[in-house]
Structure formats: C-alpha cells, structure tokens
Homo-oligomer: A and B are copies of this chain.
Amino acid sequence: MWARSLARPLLRAPLARRSVRPLLRYASSGPPGWNDAIPLPCVDQHELRERRVMAGSARAEAADDELEILGPEPSYTKVVSGYKVFRSDQDLRLDYGNVLSGFQIAYETWGELNAARDNVILLHTGLSASSHAASTPENTTKGWWEDFIGPGKALDTSKFFVICTNVLGSCYGSTGPSSPHPRDPTGAPYATRFPILSIFDMIRAQFLLLDHLGIERLYASVGSSMGGMQSIAAAHLFPERVARVVSISGCARSSPSGIALRFAQRSVLMADKNWNRGFYYGPDRVPPHKGMKLARQVATITYRSGPEWEQRFGRQRRHLLRDGASPSQRAPALCPDFLVETYLDHQGEQFCLKYDANSLIYISKSMDLFDMTDDALAELAETRMQAHGEDGNLPIETAHNRPRQPSRPHITTISHPGAHEYVPSLRRGLSRLHAVPVLILGVQSDILFPVEQQREMAESS
C-alpha cells in the first residue's frame, strides 16, 4: 500500500527528489509511547529562529529546496536596490488630520518618457510590494510583474513609460513606520507614532512625484489588489490628470469581510510579544517574526483559492515525498503535514523577516478605511477640512450643499447581490470616473476581493 503511494509519479519528480534533505529535519524517532509527547519540529524551528534573530544573524530561514516543490511565487518582498528616490521637504497633510513633515518615495521606471510626456503609466502595487515590478539594469532580479512589463508585453515599454512606486507607509525606500521620526532627537523610527494613512494620502504623495518628474497627465492609472483601489482613487482625486483606469481585483469600498480578513492578520501580528506596541526596531530588539509568519499564513489563505489548492496540492502529505519513510514519519503530525500546510508554512517563513510588521499593519488599515461611497468621501473631506482647512479634492461641497438624504437604518435585507443600500452612494462617489474609460478585471475564485466587488464597481463607475 505504501509502495503504491510512493510509486505514484510525483509532480516534477527531479525537484522533489532534490528536496529530500530538508524534509529529513522533520523526521521523528518513533511513534510516541506513553510518556512521549508528539514531535513538534515546527516549534523547534521557531525557537531556533528566535535565537538566531537575537544573536543578530537575522535571515529568513526558508529552505530553498522546498520552494521548488511548492512552485515559485512572485516575490513581492525582495529587498530591492537600484531604485530612485524622490524626497519632498513639504508637509504632507493627511486625510485623518495628521501631517508628515517631509517624506520620500522610492520608485522605478521602465521605457522612455516621450517628448509630449503623455505616455506615462503609473502602476500601483499591492500591500507589501516594493517598486520592483520588473527587472531593471540597476536591479536585474525579476520583479513581481515581470511577465507583464516589457517591450510587447501588457504594459508595453516600447510605447509607454511605466512608473512604479513603493507606497507611502511601506519599508522599501518610501517613508513609513520604520523611517526615522523627524522630530525625535534620537532619530528613532516612527513605529506606532506613524500616522494612519488613507489610500488618498498615498495617491497625493505619488502625484507630488509626478509633479517632480514634470508629468502632468497619466496615460493610465493601473493596479491590482490595493493597487486596484489606488488606480480609481487617483482618477477620483485628479480626474483631469488621469486619462484611463485599469483596476484589477480591487474594490471601491472595503467590505466588512475584507476588513475581517485583514483584522485577523493584524491581530496575530500585534499579539506577538516582540511586536512590543510597534517599538521593535534597533539592535536590542527582535522583530515580531512569529506574528509576521502567522499573519502571512492567514493572508495566503485569502490570496489563493480552494480549486487552485486542490490542483496543486490535493491531500498529498509531505512524507510521500520521501522514499522509505518510517511508520513514525508517516504518522499524522501536528506540525505541517499536508503539502498545503507546508506551502503556507513556507510562505510565512519567506515573508516573516523581509517586510516591516508596522508597514503591514498601517497599510492594511488604509485598505480597510477605503470607501468611495459619497457618504464616506464627504465624511473624510469634513475631517480633512477641520484639520487642515482644505478639502483635499474630496467632494466636500457635495456634503455641504446637497439636500440631506433621509436617515435609513444601516442594516437592510439583502435580496440579491448588488442590492446593497450603499450602492447609490457608491455611484455618486465614483461620479468623477464617469468620463474616464475604466477597465475593471476580477478573478472568480478570489476570496479577499470577491468578483462581486468588481462587478459593483463596474456598474457604478
């Protein structure tokens, strides 16, 4: 029977064969007797990493051999180099009332800006991505959209000048919680002294970069996931500066379900003692690597869908990848056991020391707060007006001037998708996009950004 299982041809067998070594770490010595606890190699591994990080040899402990079995994923979290930096000394007035006293934005470009300066595509990233969307002469590592950017590709660099920024609040060259607090005399990072950002704040910083580059108008504003929110937010804030919008797997209003999924990630991260209320920077501190790993595991579940996992992993268990596994190795384990668990574990490991925990918390919160209904935009504009005396291009005039809608209870009976009570308000909120060509794409098996949200956006914009 075991022989039969092992005789099954494995996916990409040579790669699987090469992976025999790291899997051996997980072998236990035998089935537990009355006084033996179940082997917990994953707990050992976390403790080992904790000690290594404490000893100053922080490095993601990913087993590269295993990665090959699990299939390569595009890396959104490569520590990049070779990016350009735009520094601004001016105060960035933020939607929720705070001010950033100067900031910087990391960016990379592909293709050539034409003489008319009208061939610019601004590419917006997902939550944790760097500006490294594709390889450049300065950094030849493949980027996270390598297949879509280049001559003759979807973003055709023989025609277009593509700009991608590291989003404000991130940690790959742009100002974020890990940047030095400009008013802290010790030069310590902001940590949780960093202000809450809106998606619109991020867009304003990007457009200051465009000003700096002398780019008046975008050929297109393009992005997926959080970038899908930003692509439409840009056209809303600066309708005269955005000629086209492409929004992929995004939404115009974060749903309670999306908020719940991101809240779960923030919660596991903030529960890590090493998070220390955000103050984990400096040589004497350990970053919340366990919390980050767990948060990434939860996130990965929302990025991938059941049918894909059925296809990639099925119910295969890791012991089947080894020839001659002993009965104890074949015994069910509490640590990663099924291949899909190994995959999640691996995704978490890959991520946990490569991205800043506070950036994850702040940017995911910005996503939660994103709501392009007219009601929400008016509320945000009012907050902004009270703090800064300006509306920041949010449609405050609508809130002030139009007749009040009669009050409605916020809980309604939903008879069919699209019948949500907020839809008319969303349509009003997206009214500045009505004159702009908008392409909206969604993926049917998406959990985090269900296709209904893209449908809703398409019908409203």
Residues of A within 8 A of B (CB): 1-2, 4-5, 7-11, 31-32, 34-38, 40, 42-43, 46, 96-98, 181, 183-184, 191-193, 195-196, 253-257, 259-261, 263-264, 266-268, 270-273, 277-279, 290-291, 293-294, 297-298, 301, 305-307, 309-316, 327, 330-332, 334, 336-341, 344-345, 361, 365, 368-369, 371, 376, 378-379, 382-383, 386, 399, 404, 407-414, 417, 420, 422, 447, 450
Contact = CB atoms under 8 A, between A and B. Distances in A.
Contact of A32 (B43, B195, B257, B417): B195
Given A37-B192, A409-B9, A410-B8, A271 B331 contact: no
A310 B256 contact: yes
Given A184-B35, A192-B40, A270-B42, A361 B334 contact: yes
A35 B194 CA distance: 10
Nearest to A183: B34
A290 B270 contact: no
B261 A301 contact: yes
Contact of A307 (B9, B382, B383, B414): B414
A286 to B, nearest CB: 13
Contact of A310 (B34, B195, B257): B257
Contact of A260 (B35, B301, B412): B301
B307 A97 contact: no
Nearest to A95: B332
A385 to B, nearest CB: 9
Contact of A256 (B193, B309, B383): B309
A263 B407 contact: no
Nearest to A34: B183
B97 A411 contact: no
A61 to B, nearest CB: 15
A334 B270 contact: yes
**Which 9 residue pairs of A and B lie closest in terms of their CB atoms, listed nearest first?**
A257-B306, A256-B309, A256-B340, A1-B382, A37-B192, A34-B183, A263-B341, A38-B192, A196-B332
A178 to B, nearest CB: 14
A4 B332 CA distance: 57
Contact of A36 (B193, B254, B301, B447): B193
25 contacts: A1-B378, A1-B382, A4-B407, A5-B379, A8-B410, A9-B407, A10-B409, A11-B410, A37-B191, A43-B270, A196-B332, A256-B309, A256-B310, A256-B314, A257-B310, A260-B344, A263-B297, A263-B340, A264-B297, A267-B345, A310-B414, A310-B420, A311-B413, A330-B383, A332-B365
B410 A278 contact: no
